[in-house]
């Protein structure tokens, strides 16, 4: 279809107006209050790790650093673009740790610490697992453990054939007041009933355990 000369000019003017309008819209961003444009910074930078077993690699080599974020908006952008914990294959893990801390016992920030451990049976994978994991992540990045938030190193979710596990890791197993308060806050945030006991295991005990069970140093 051929346009008349007048029509072509009219389309050109219309196109120019569209561009001008878009430029105006971009310029108008300056009119918004700064708090609507600025991302909300977190107190710490956090790193997401993903573990999937690879027979050709060691356990440590199979831990993959996915990305780091330091704002609330970047957390949601990440969380909404990855699989839910319940969708991971059996044998896989997600770990979220403060930047610079690796999700392993041997890391300097973890070696004197331990973990609050929550065991979830298989049927809870569809009911509680994702909610618990998200609530823990929000509690960590939002410094929800109050004055004890600095003692939290990160959290891990393990997807396993029989029992899934979620753990919150702390840096110093010897600071009983801090460890206990973090455990109490964890139960409160997850709305775990008082009759359900969760235990805190020291990493050193887990490393040298005999059999499948590690003793609990603290319980709440």
CB distance 132 to 118 below 8 Å: yes
Angle 152-141-91 from CA coordinates, rounded to 5°: 75
Cα–Cα distance for residue pair 195/198, rounded to 1 Å:
10
Q: Model confidence over 160-192: pLDDT tens digits?
A: 999 999 999 999 999 999 999 999 999 999 999
Can you tell me the distance from the alpha carbon of 135 to that of 103, in angstroms, rounded to the nearest whole number? 19
Q: What is the domain partition of the chain in residue ranges? A: 39-219
- Give CA 65 to chain center in angstroms: 12
Q: What is the pLDDT of residues 113-122, one digit of tens each?
A: 999 999 999 8
In whole angstroms, how far apart are CA 167 and each of 17, 50, 154? 57, 15, 9
Residue 215, SS3 per DSSP: coil
Beta bridge pairs of residue 48: 67, 96
62 membership: H or E segment, kind and range = helix 59-62
- Phi and psi torsions of 168, nearest 5°: -105, 125
Q: What is the pTM of this model?
A: 0.81
* Residue 109, SS3 per DSSP: coil
CATH number of 39-219: 3.30.760.10
pLDDT in tens, the chain (220 residues): 544 555 544 544 444 444 444 444 444 545 656 666 688 999 999 999 999 988 888 888 899 999 999 999 999 999 999 999 999 999 999 999 999 999 999 999 999 999 999 999 989 999 999 999 999 999 999 999 999 999 999 999 999 999 999 999 999 999 999 999 999 999 999 999 988 999 999 999 887 765 567 789 999 9
Short-list 137, 148, 135, 138, CA closest to 192: 135
């Amino acid at each position: 279809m051929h346009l008349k000369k007048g029509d072509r000019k009219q389309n050109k003017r219309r196109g120019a107006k569209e561009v001008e309008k878009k430029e105006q819209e971009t310029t108008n961003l300056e009119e918004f209050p700064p708090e609507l444009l600025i991302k909300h910074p977190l107190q710490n930078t956090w790193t997401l790790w993903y573990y999937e077993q690879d027979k050709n690699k060691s356990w440590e080599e199979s831990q993959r650093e996915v990305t780091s974020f330091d704002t609330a908006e970047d957390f949601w952008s990440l969380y909404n673009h990855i699989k839910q914990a319940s969708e991971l294959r059996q044998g896989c893990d997600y770990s979220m740790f403060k930047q610079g801390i690796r999700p392993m016992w041997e890391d300097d920030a973890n070696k004197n610490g331990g973990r609050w451990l929550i065991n979830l049976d298989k049927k809870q994978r569809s009911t509680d697992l994702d909610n618990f994991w998200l609530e823990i992540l929000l509690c960590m990045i939002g410094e929800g453990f109050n004055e004890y938030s600095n003692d939290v190193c990160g959290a891990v979710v393990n997807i396993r054939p029989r029992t899934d596990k979620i753990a919150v890791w702390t840096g110093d197993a010897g600071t009983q007041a801090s460890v206990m308060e973090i455990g109490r806050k964890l139960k409160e945030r997850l709305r775990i009933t008082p009759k359900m006991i969760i235990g805190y295991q020291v990493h050193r005990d887990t490393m040298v355990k005999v059999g499948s069970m590690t003793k609990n140093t603290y319980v709440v």
